[in-house]
Each structure stands twice: as structure tokens, then as C-alpha cells.
Amino acid sequence: MTGVPTCALPICLPEFPEPGIDRESVLDACGPTPDEIEKLIERNEERLAAEEAEREEEEEEEEYESVSDEEKSIVGAYLLDVTADDPDADTEPMQELILAMADGGVDLLAESVDERAGEAVSGGLLAGLNLEVVKRVACAWAANLEYESPAEASMGGWYGDTLELRYRPKGHADTVAKAWIEFGLGAAQTDDDSGERAVALRDSLIDAKEGVGACTKCHAVSQVDPGSDALVVEWRARHVERSRPHHLFLHDIHLRLLAARETNLVEADAGCRRCHVLDAGADFASGFADFDTMSYKSNFKAITKDTCVDCHSEGNVGESCQMCHDYHRAPSFQIMISGNEQ
């Protein structure tokens, strides 16, 4: 109808072909309209959905990565009777042990040691193990962090190293190091259930480079009997029947005369080197590979008579035959008297 206003209000806002009022100023003063509010809600929901989808995608792409790429230790795998070369297998026993150690105790570890040994040996194997070190290393394991020891174990004993508990011998004839070597030898002899695992444990402990204290650099590992799988460490020299029963030689007096203790071993012709000459061509190392004492090859050249007469000659120390040779030991001559044997 002509002349009828287009709105019911007394004062109508004019219709602008193109509004000249700043829209943001209007929104600040009046707020969004219902339609705009609905659009804002929709846009916000879409944004949240997109962020959630992106987060899920990132979580799928991000895989757990251990701080260690090494296999389980041979010792730990044997004690827990798990597979060493498969990091995904048999994780439950390892996790139980870690949680028990993180709780501040070594009871489960000691029980594992004694159970595998078949006797109570954990007291000697774990002697001096600090419970606080155990707890801190276990907590680092659980948190997938590398443990950093507050101080280096320069004086020996148990210490934490990244993700491992390690032992450094305190000196020669260290009782803990010796106990672990004996434990490894015994495991390989008696444990029929995990034969290969027990042999791997033994070989890792007696390894001259990586073993406990590298004791076997000097102390040979030999078969108890020829062809036997049972091994023994030669902690002391064997007292066996002499291969030369009429030959007598004492190292003790020679070492005292040569003052070997005060001699610098790098001196070419002093101390032990006065008599013993290294044989660079000797295949010395192969003699220890099969644990057979009969395949031993000395890395010293044979001592000749010329070496002995440097000192045992006229005007020097004694040169009588009986000084070095013991002839006619326990003689048993048969005396014939009147045709009868006496």
C-alpha cells in the first residue's frame, strides 16, 4: 500500500545501499546477532574438531622411543630367564624387577640370583650394593631416562651407568668379581633348562676384555677333565707331577737375586727378562680358546743352557750338576747274594 511505512516503529532506520558504519564498531557496541552467534559456534566446533583430529594424527605418528637401543644384558636375561636379544619379549618379569628395585629393595633380584644358582649365593654376588643407587637407576629405567651418577666409582664397587647397574673391582682378588665368575662357571655346568643362555652368561663373565675385572687375562680357564664341559679358573698354579722329575728349579731365589720387584718391566734385559725372552711368533692366544691345557702354547722362547751359564759358571754361583739336577731318586738296586734276590 502506498504511503504505508515499512516498519512498525515510529522511527524507522533508513535503508542504505551500502552501509557506511564500521561493522567491528557495531559488534563491539552491540555484540553479534543470533545468526552470527550460531555461525561462531559452528566455526568453533569445526576448529576444535580439526585440532583434535590433528592431535590424534600426531599421536599415531609419534612412537615410543627408548633411550637405549641395546639388548637386555646377558646377566639380567639369565637371572630373569628371559630372552636377551628380543627387546619386546618377556617384558613383564623385567618390569616387575624394575618396580621392585624402584621401591627401594633388592629382594627380588637376590631371589632371582639364588633361584638360578640353586643355593644362597646372592650375599656374595651383591655384596656392597647400595640400595639408594639401585632405586635411582630403577627410577631412571621406569622414566626412560639415562641415569647420571653423581660421582665416578673410582675406588670400585657398585655404580649406575646410564641404564645399567655395574660393578668395578676394588683391586686384585676382588671377592665380588671372583664370585660372579664362579657363578657363571657353575651355571653352565648345572643349568640344563637354559643351556645356551647359561653358556652365554659364562662366556660373558670370563671374557678377557669385557668380563668382570678381566681376571682371565692372567688366570686361565681350563677343563676340569680332558674333554669335559666343566671349567675351572686357575686362581692358583696347579701342583701336578713334574714333567721333568730329575730337574730342580726354584723361581723364588732367582727373583730375589734379580730384584724383580724393583725392576722396571719396560727394561729390555732386567728382572724376568734376563732369562725369559718373548716369542712374537707364538700363537699364544689360541691356547685359551678351547680351555684345553694340552693345547697351551707359551709366548716365551725356550730357555737354553747358554742362559743358565751366564751365572752358573766358574767363579760365579755354583755350577755343580746336583744344584739343578736330582739324579738317582729313590734308588732300588737289586742285590744278588748266593743266587738269591735281596
Reported residue count of the chain is 342
Predicted local confidence at residue 212, as pLDDT:
84
Predicted local confidence at residue 75, as pLDDT:
85
Phi-psi region of 90 (alpha: psi -120 to 50; beta: other; left: phi over 0): left
For residue 45, name the pLDDT band (cuts at 50, 70, 90). Answer: confident
Question: Is the per-residue pLDDT at 239 higher than 70?
Answer: no
String of DSSP letters for 4-63: --SSSSSSPPPPPSS--S-HHHHHHHH---HHHHHHHHHHHHHHHHHHHHHHHHHHHH--
Q: Using CA atoms of 115, 77, 160, 174 in order, give the dihedral in degrees to the nearest 10.
A: 60
Predicted local confidence at residue 85, as pLDDT:
65
Closest C-alpha among 92, 70, 68 to residue 80: 92
The pLDDT tens digits of the residues spanning 159-183 come to 888 778 889 999 888 999 999 999 9
Closest C-alpha among 68, 71, 73 to residue 145: 68
Within 8 A by CB and 6+ apart from 224, the residues are 230, 231, 232
Answer with the residue of higher pLDDT: 336 or 117.
117
Question: Is the per-residue pLDDT at 108 higher than 50?
Answer: yes
- What type of residue is 197? R
Please state the rounded mean pLDDT for residues 256-283: 77
Backbone angles phi, psi at 166, to 5 degrees: -125, 160
Question: Is the per-residue pLDDT at 11 higher than 90?
Answer: no
The pLDDT tens digits of the residues spanning 194-226 come to 678 888 889 999 998 888 888 888 888 988 888
Mean pLDDT of the chain: 77
Predicted local confidence at residue 9, as pLDDT:
46
Please state the rounded mean pLDDT for residues 62-88: 68
Question: Is the per-residue pLDDT at 115 higher than 80?
Answer: yes
Domains of the chain, by residue range, sit at 74-215, 251-323
Question: Is the per-residue pLDDT at 334 higher than 70?
Answer: no
State the Cα–Cα distance between residues 71 and 18, nearest whole angstrom: 74
The pLDDT tens digits of the residues spanning 296-308 come to 788 889 888 888 8
Question: Is the per-residue pLDDT at 89 higher than 90?
Answer: no
The pLDDT tens digits of the residues spanning 148-159 come to 887 778 888 998
Predicted local confidence at residue 191, as pLDDT:
64
Predicted local confidence at residue 126, as pLDDT:
92
